[in-house]
Structure 1
Amino acid sequence: MKTDIHPQYQNVVFLDTGTGFKFMGGSTMSSEETVEWEDGNTYPLIKVEISSDSHPFYTGKQKLADAGGRIDKFKKKYNLD
């Protein structure tokens, strides 16, 4: 097996941009942005649009607002009003 071809696996902090919920996990992703975590250490910050805090499957309800009127555009396009 070739050496030094795999990305480095590290702890990162994920931020749900819709709710502000943060959680730590392992990932091969990296980021220029960093954040100080509860343990006092600094970790790369990865922004995600949806997480278990905002996804309707996990929450049982819709938390996200209609971003940019997408539903209205769809209804208007297909004359569903």
Structure 2
Amino acid sequence: MKKDIHPNYKQIKTVCTSCNTEHVFGSTAEKVNLDVCSNCHAFYTGDRSTVKARGRVERFNKILEKSKKTN
């Protein structure tokens, strides 16, 4: 391998914007933004039912808006 052509691999700290949990991992990037992590994502927490319910409510509200526009 050629010398001095590879990016520097280092340990970086980043904070999840949803739950403010700090994570440390290796990366070649200077800064990484996390919107959702394994501590707050519905798939990992087992709170998937609320996500489904929220989707149903949003879908109902869209249908309700359409019916109000046609009347």
TM-score (norm 2): 0.60
1:48 aligns with 2:8: no
User: Which of the two has greater helix per residue?
Assistant: 2
Q: How many residues align?
A: 57
Q: Deviations over 1:28-70 (max 9, x none)?
A: 1103xxxxxxxxxxxxxx32101111111211115xxxxxxxx
- Whichever residue aligns with residue 5 of structure 2, its letter is I
Give SS of 1:48's match: coil
* Matches of 1:49 and 1:11, distance apart in 2: 19
Cα RMSD, aligned residues only:
2.7
Unaligned runs of 5+ in 1: 32-45, 63-70
User: Runs in 1 of length 4+ with deviation above 6 angstroms?
Assistant: none
Corresponding position of 1:9: 9
* Matches of 1:55 and 1:72, distance apart in 2: 19
Task: Indicate the structure whose relative CO is greater, using CA pairs within 8 Å and at least 6 residues apart.
Answer: 1
Give SS of 1:54's match: coil
Corresponding position of 2:47: 61
Unaligned runs of 5+ in 2: 49-56, 65-71
Q: Percent identity between the aligned chains? A: 33
User: Which of the two has greater strand per residue?
Assistant: 1
